[in-house]
Structure 1
Amino acid sequence: MPRCWRRSSRAGRSATCDLINNSMMSHNKYVQQDALEKLDLDRVKSVKRAKIPEAQITDHAIGAAFYGQCIGYRTDAFGGRKPESWADFWDTKVFKGGRSMVSPDGDLPELEFALLADGVPMDKLYPLDVDRAFKVLTRLRGDIKKYWDSGPLPGVLLSRQEVTMSTVWDGRLADLQKQGVPVERQLNGMRRQFSGYAIAKGAANIDAAYKLMDFSLRAESQAALVKFFPSNPSSPVAYAKLTDEERNASAGAPKYYDKGFDADVEWWLKNESAVTKRWLEWAR
């Protein structure tokens, strides 16, 4: 969900907010609509100090955190075994039980997971082989009990034992685990999608927007957020400021990072509409 901040309004300006926190993919769409200011990176000093990855620094937005889409599973469902990969997610003979995957109302279709299950290496995923991905999805279709469209739903389905495995946003199982529900996540092959900050075109309080952006992107600020919210900072420096427990709970921790991949925003911007249309026809 996008978040906007502003301190005050000024007549004659069209922007209804100043600083926007949204997905980097959404920011790319806003750029196409000429809705964002081009950033002056000299006014965001924290970017260099926080060592934010270059891939998350664009002319109009800067990535602050990511969420990882991964496997969630019941730990009591497989006789002590645990799924290690997307191939295991597809293996309903060894890992018995129903599955749940996302619908386009919840997130991007999960073509990458199908390709990983079929043996495509993470560094060879893009451009996605759409035909191959849908063939692999079809192999699992009969075992998919529900397509989820909101973040809490995978946890609900796992809690009710309606499924034994589901795709899930990585931070969504933490509360269930605290309640004693036997669920766990598998981060191998997780898909990372970043969110970040941008300034609205015609922002009335542009100086304040830069100051808040600069503050929010500091490694200290990103680390502090983790203590109150299941966030995965974009700054690698932030993880050194966390306790071992906090760090290991984050999907962005160094021990997990190479297990996942970044969603190719450019590919999805070009292909999301066509893939979604095909997914809707496939899921009927």
Structure 2
Amino acid sequence: MEHRFGRRALLRGAGGLAAAAVLPSLAACGTGTSRATTGGGSKTVIVRNSGGAYGEALQKGIYTPFSKETGIEVKVVNLSGTQMLAQMKQGRPQFDLIDNSLAQFARWVPENVLEPLDYDRIPSFKSAKLPENMVEEHVVGKSYYVTLMAYSTQAFGNKAPGTWADFWDAGAFAGNRSMGNPDADIPELEFALLADGVPMDKLYPLDVDRAFKAMDRIRPHIKKYWDTGNLPGVLLSRREVALSTVWHGRLDQLIAGGAPLAYQLSGGRRQAQGHAIPKGAANVDAAYQLIDYTLRPEVQAGIAKFYPANPAVAAAYDKLTAEERAKLPGAPEFFDKGFDVDIDWWLKNESAVSKRWREWARD
């Protein structure tokens, strides 16, 4: 399977990686000098991830077997973006490897707080054949997450919402809704445009005015704008809402436990997730070893068995059963049902759009 992403890659290829300014209007302001050397063969690596069910799955699917194979202990910290940036600007981060979205890393590149990656220190990189836009000077992708529609299977009888137009149709699919706010992720304007009839391949550049007009139509039915990943599942389980946007994978444990909930894979918004090494990291060798381990197809497939993180390594899907692939919007049979966030567009417009969204939500 060949992954195709919609946004322009920030850097092209790995062999001749060249620096590129992601946000040219921002000046680099890193202050500390880097401690990143060989790492001295450390037997410890400290990783920052977002925790929760995702963090638990990383522990089971990656960190524990990695430690067993290499003898390197993996310690985990859960820090906010603000906390991480503050530490990195001081030049002494209390972590060696960051697991985060490529959009967040792109915001940090101009701050001069991330180490340029040496891809020769990642032996599995070439065979991984990552999508083009997951290969950048400071960041290497590993998976992606998807924001999509979830709903209560008890809310609509024998009907089930199949498109964003259905989400917007409070007549045919009555009930309260929930959507994310900018504290959780970038505003969900793409869903409004899809509901209004814009084809997926014509979304960008986003027609912001048209999107907000569409949002006006659904607003009376929005009970809650969620700001944490677990809240949609709570609202749906309590029957406080009948439909919600949600980060894919956040409902799986509830569904496995018998909760009458389901996903709709059509129209899912994909965002890439990856690894970066902060300047000043103390255990660089160990960080590279963990990156390398993560890009093995069998490891990528393994993590997907614990949590539906969509592998970036195409060969990983060959190691999953049809039942396991059915839970992954990134599997070949579902890939064309979704679309990729145009990070370049959002980096240029996120501030203005989020400000407008907050004013709109207050009115």
Q: Could you tell me whether the CA contact under 8 Å between 1:71 and 1:168 is conserved in 2? A: yes
* Partner Cα separation in structure 2 for residue 31 and residue 222 of structure 1: 26
Compute the displacement of 1:130 (Å). 0.8
Matched, 1:48 2:126: yes
* Partner Cα separation in structure 1 for residue 338 and residue 123 of structure 2: 28
Compute the displacement of 1:50 (Å). 1.9
Matched, 1:142 2:188: no
Q: Could you tell me whether the CA contact under 8 Å between 2:139 and 2:276 is conserved in 1? A: yes
- Residues 105-139 of structure 1: CA distance to partner in whole angstroms, max 9, x if unpaired? 11111000001111111111111111111010011
Matched, 1:118 2:224: no
Matched, 1:80 2:154: no
Residue 171 of structure 1 aligns to a residue in which SS? coil
Matched, 1:238 2:284: no
Compute the displacement of 1:6 (Å). 7.4
What's the counterpart of residue 27 of structure 1? 105
* Partner Cα separation in structure 2 for residue 86 and residue 104 of structure 1: 20
What's the counterpart of residue 221 of structure 1? 299
Matched, 1:3 2:49: yes
Residue 254 of structure 1 aligns to a residue in which SS? coil
What's the counterpart of residue 231 of structure 2? 153
* Worse overlay, 65-74 or 35-44: 35-44
Residue 251 of structure 2 aligns to a residue in which SS? helix
Residue 70 of structure 1 aligns to a residue in which SS? strand
What's the counterpart of residue 179 of structure 1? 257
* Worse overlay, 147-156 or 36-45: 36-45
* Partner Cα separation in structure 2 for residue 13 and residue 133 of structure 1: 41
Query: Which amino acid letter does the alignment assign opposite residue 35 of structure 1?
Result: V
Matched, 1:107 2:107: no
Residue 187 of structure 1 aligns to a residue in which SS? strand
Residue 275 of structure 2 aligns to a residue in which SS? strand
Q: Could you tell me whether the CA contact under 8 Å between 1:67 and 1:194 is conserved in 2? A: yes
Equivalent pairs counted in the alignment come to: 280
Q: Could you tell me whether the CA contact under 8 Å between 1:6 and 1:19 is conserved in 2? A: no
- Give the alignment partner of residue 148 of structure 2, picking from 61, 70, 81: 70
Taking a change above 3 Å as real, the CA distance of residues 6 and 15 of structure 1, as seen in their structure-2 partners, is farther
Compute the displacement of 1:84 (Å). 1.2
What's the counterpart of residue 277 of structure 2? 199
Taking a change above 3 Å as real, the CA distance of residues 15 and 174 of structure 1, as seen in their structure-2 partners, is closer
What's the counterpart of residue 211 of structure 1? 289
- Residues 149-189 of structure 1: CA distance to partner in whole angstroms, max 9, x if unpaired? 11111111111111111001111121121222211100101
Residue 144 of structure 2 aligns to a residue in which SS? strand
* Worse overlay, 221-230 or 256-265: 221-230
TM-score by length of 1: 0.93
